[in-house]
Amino acid sequence: MPSDNPENWRRRLSGVVDFIPPELRLRVVSGAAIGLIALAMLYWSPGAFAVLTLLVAAAMSWEWSRIVRGPMPDTGLVIHILTVLAAAILTARDMAGMGIVASIIGALAVAVLVTGSGRSRLSGAGVLYTALPVIALGWLRSDETLGFLATLFVVISVAVTDVAAYAAGRTVGGPKLWPEVSPNKTWSGLFGGIGMAAVAGALFSIISGTGGTLWLASLGLALGLVAQWGDLAESALKRHFGLKDSGDLIPGHGGFMDRMDGLVTASIAAALIGFFIDAFAPARALLYGS
């Protein structure tokens, strides 16, 4: 019987790694790296997190514009990114409402600038698609007392939904959810994803000591469902233009839109929930439901 020396452990670990397909290994490594950077920036400060969301939104702006209008850059992309920048700055200065106004103006400007009715509307919609999540996440994170935990909860809900939906879809399979839009998504993946998001919400309450367990479980499920809808919406856009991925900026994952599609819709939904419950303390409102 071989001894459990370091060399034997190294060989066993190497065997496990070799068993994992190279594409999946690349996906895991790049995903973990991005996740660690995002967590560090989120924890560091609202300002650092605002810079991160701005950079990601700029990359998504390029991807959206390329999908809808072709080779970049063009004037529409410049206005698009400047609008996102203005929205981020205004939100960081406690003027999220003005950030929304700036986003709408920028969307209208891009829509008027771009010729062709279909591409015009989609180009304008892309400005809102990238600017509104920057405002939503920045507004939640700026809450001094619970901003970090509230934003972290939104990110965890989306991440757990994505991973669990992928795992359930691959292991359980079954009927397709919407094959015309996303051939690989299944109903088992949908229910597995939002079910685990509910579990994650309950565990988040227990571990962090914030919010009510039932409330955060329900909220996790709701945000997971909204995130899945965002995933399908982005898939529909790519399918309309005959594309598989939004880009190739993230090794093993495709583009930033491919990874942030669920967070786009979930963050906006979370901000709206916080706003309607208590606009003066959105993070607390989101976590406690009151």
Q: Is residue 31 part of a domain?
A: no
What does the pLDDT average to over 127-150? Answer: 95
- Mean pLDDT along residues 82-104: 96
What's the confidence (pLDDT) of residue 17? 46
- Does residue 9 register a pLDDT over 70? no
| Last residue within a domain, chosen from 98, 116, 142 | 142
Which domain covers residue 93, as residue numbers? Answer: 46-142
Global pTM? 0.87
Mark whether 263 and 281 lie in a shared domain.
yes
Is the domain of 230 the same as that of 122? no
Are residue 151 and residue 252 in the same domain, yes or no? yes
- Is residue 12 situated within a structural domain? no
Same domain, residue pair 152 and 241? yes
Q: Please check whether residues 126 and 158 belong to one and the same domain.
A: no
DSSP string, the chain: -----HHHHHHHHHHHHHHS-HHHHHHHHHHHHHHHHHHHHHHH-HHHHHHHHHHHHHHHHHHHHHHHH-SS--HHHHHHHHHHHHHHHHHHTT-HHHHHHHHHHHHHHHHHHS-SHHHHHHHHHHHHHHHHHHHHHHHHHT-TTTHHHHHHHHHHHHHHHHHHHHHHHHHT--SEEETTTEEEEEHHHHHHHHHHHHHHHHHHHHHH--S-HHHHHHHHHHHHHHHHHHHHHHHHHHHHTT-S-S-SSBTTTB-HHHHHHHHHHHHHHHHHHHHHHHTTSHHHHHHH--
* Mean pLDDT computed over 222-250: 85
Domain boundary among 99, 117, 142: 142
Please check whether residues 120 and 168 belong to one and the same domain: no
Quickly state the pLDDT bin for 95 (edges 50, 70, 90): very high
Give me the number of domains the chain comprises.
Answer: 2
Residue finishing a domain among 142, 177, 211: 142
User: Do 132 and 230 belong to one domain?
Assistant: no
> What gap in Å lies between CA 99 and CA 121, rounded to an integer?
20
Same domain, 121 and 174: no
In this predicted structure, the answer to whether residue 2 has a pLDDT above a threshold of 80 is no
Residue scoring higher pLDDT (5 or 269)? 269
pLDDT tens by residue, 33-71:
777 888 898 999 999 999 999 999 999 999 999 999 988
- Is 23 part of a structural domain of the chain? no
Tell me the mean pLDDT in the region 181-190.
Answer: 86
Query: So what's the pLDDT on residue 172?
Result: 85
- Whether residues 262 and 222 share a domain: the answer is yes
Mean pLDDT for 252-262 is 78
Q: Which of 50, 39, 223 is nearest to 136 (CA)?
A: 50
Domain contains 271: yes
Residues 164 and 261 in one domain: yes
